[in-house]
Amino acid sequence: MTTSTISPKIIENFDLYAPKLVSKEEFFSPGHRACQGCAEALAIRLMCKALGRDTVITNATGCMEVISSLYPTTAWNLPWIHVAFPNAASVGSGVEAGLKALRRKGRIPDKRVKSVAIGGDGGTMDIGFQALSGAMERGHDLLYVCFDNEAYMNTGIQRSSGTPFLAATTTAPAGKVIPGNQVWKKNVMEIMVAHNLPYVATASPAYPIDFMNKVKKAREVNGPAYVHCLVTCPTGWRSPSDTAIQLGRLAWETGVFPIYEVEDGKYRYTLPVPEKRRPVEDYMKGQGRFRHVTPDQIKVIQERVDVEWEALRLKVENSQSRTEIRERLKK
Ligand SMILES: Cc1ncc(C[n+]2csc(CCOP(=O)(O)OP(=O)(O)O)c2C)c(N)n1
Ligand SMILES: [Mg+2]
């Protein structure tokens, strides 16, 4: 694991600090059936710690539902509902509306219970996309968290619109005809920002405190919020199971997956920005799904990452929040 971004002092006093930073209460319990080194299961566990008890989770079909709810067991220690592949955001918004109605009628205590919908990249960026857009546009008090492992992993590593360019999947195999996935990853963050949401963020369980802080912040928003969490998948990425955290860090250190937030329209990095980004090859070489990629193809990917990184940097540097803009226009 690279430790460049963790202060040595925190590592030295880890046992002292960790329990103060992270709740010991477990809402996603061990004993589930996730693969070894699954970053998605880790991210769910951290998300639940950040959300706390007063939460209802709506879970689209996908790896996390399959591994956590094998009859007659469950890993969930929170109210949890499994729904179809495309409609987590619809059900999550229904849960929110239902809780509101029950509170109004005095049928449940008058306290805030957060509705949180979760789905994989397929369930969010592809098949559940209209449900997500609708829920966000209607302005529900709903947090949606996408756990993006960059393919339909539960059903056998089929490509999704979250799959990176040239990654090999079972429906975009690398061979004589094509060198893996033929299109660039969809930038769903920008589409969420275009919905004018109060809070949108990217995150990774490789930076657990940053991720949990974002979930907490999104939970407090009284309205729609979206968190896009990149989760490494040793099975689908063909990477050793002990590199889940290392790869998560490399995704940020190379700029392949920028970690930032957009609050009220203002872009901000939330981690110390690397002075010099590492080459994308450092990220790709540990993953069998990119094994076939040639040096010339890596150059194309590097150029794309450089351009997207600069486009984001300009947004961080120049964007103003809607509140700031409103105030400026008043003057
Ligand atoms: C309408 C419909 N189509 C297809 C499926 C089969 N199916 C279930 S989960 C899944 C893939 C899930 O992928 P993703 O959302 O990325 O989650 P992951 O398993 O990768 O965590 C598919 C294709 C289904 N359940 N319903
Ligand atoms: Mg997936």
Q: Please check the confidence at residue 8 and state whether its pLDDT lies above 60.
A: no
For residues 105 and 4, give the distance between their C-alpha atoms in angstroms, rounded to a whole number: 53
Burial 186-225 (b: 16+ CB within 10 A, else e): bebbebbbeeebbbbbbbbbbbbbbbbbbbebbbebeebb
Domain ranges within the chain, ordered by starting residue: 8-330
For residues 44 and 279, give the distance between their C-alpha atoms in angstroms, rounded to a whole number: 29
Which atom belonging to ligand 1 lies closest to the Cα atom of 60?
A: 15
The pLDDT value recorded for residue 9 is: 62
- Cut 0.75: pTM above it: yes
Q: Please check the confidence at residue 318 and state whether its pLDDT lies above 90.
A: yes
Q: Are strands 199-203 and 225-230 parallel, antiparallel or unpaired?
A: parallel
**Exposure of 97 in the CB half-sphere (CA atoms within 13 A):** 10
How far away, in angstroms, is 60 Cα from ligand 1 center?
Answer: 8
From the CB of 169, is ligand 1 less than 6 Å away? no
As a whole number, mean pLDDT of residues 21-46 equals 94
- pLDDT tens for residues 237-276? 999 999 999 999 999 999 999 999 999 999 999 999 999 9
Which atom belonging to ligand 1 lies closest to the Cα atom of 126?
A: 15
CB atoms near residue 45 (< 10 Å)? 19
Which atom belonging to ligand 1 lies closest to the Cα atom of 236?
A: 20
Q: Provide the 3-class DSSP secondary structure of residue 226.
A: strand
Which CATH number applies to 8-330?
3.40.50.970
Q: Please check the confidence at residue 5 and state whether its pLDDT lies above 60.
A: no
Which atom belonging to ligand 1 lies closest to the Cα atom of 233?
A: 20
For residues 17 and 112, give the distance between their C-alpha atoms in angstroms, rounded to a whole number: 29
- pLDDT tens for residues 203-242? 999 999 999 999 999 999 999 999 999 999 999 999 999 9
Q: Provide the 3-class DSSP secondary structure of residue 55.
A: strand
The pLDDT value recorded for residue 3 is: 39
Q: Are 226 and 197 in contact (CB under 8 A)?
A: yes
From the CB of 87, is ligand 1 less than 6 Å away? no
CB atoms near residue 113 (< 10 Å)? 17
What are the distances in angstroms from CA 230 to CA 74, 107, 318?
24, 38, 26
- pLDDT tens for residues 98-141? 999 999 999 999 999 999 999 999 999 999 999 999 999 999 99
From the CB of 62, is ligand 1 less than 6 Å away? yes
Best of 85, 121, 229 to mutate for ligand 1, by most ligand atoms within 8 A of CB? Answer: 85
How far away, in angstroms, is 322 Cα from ligand 1 center?
Answer: 36
Q: Provide the 3-class DSSP secondary structure of residue 229.
A: strand
Average pLDDT, the chain: 95
The pLDDT value recorded for residue 171 is: 98
Helix (H) or strand (E) holding 66: helix 63-68
The pLDDT value recorded for residue 19 is: 75
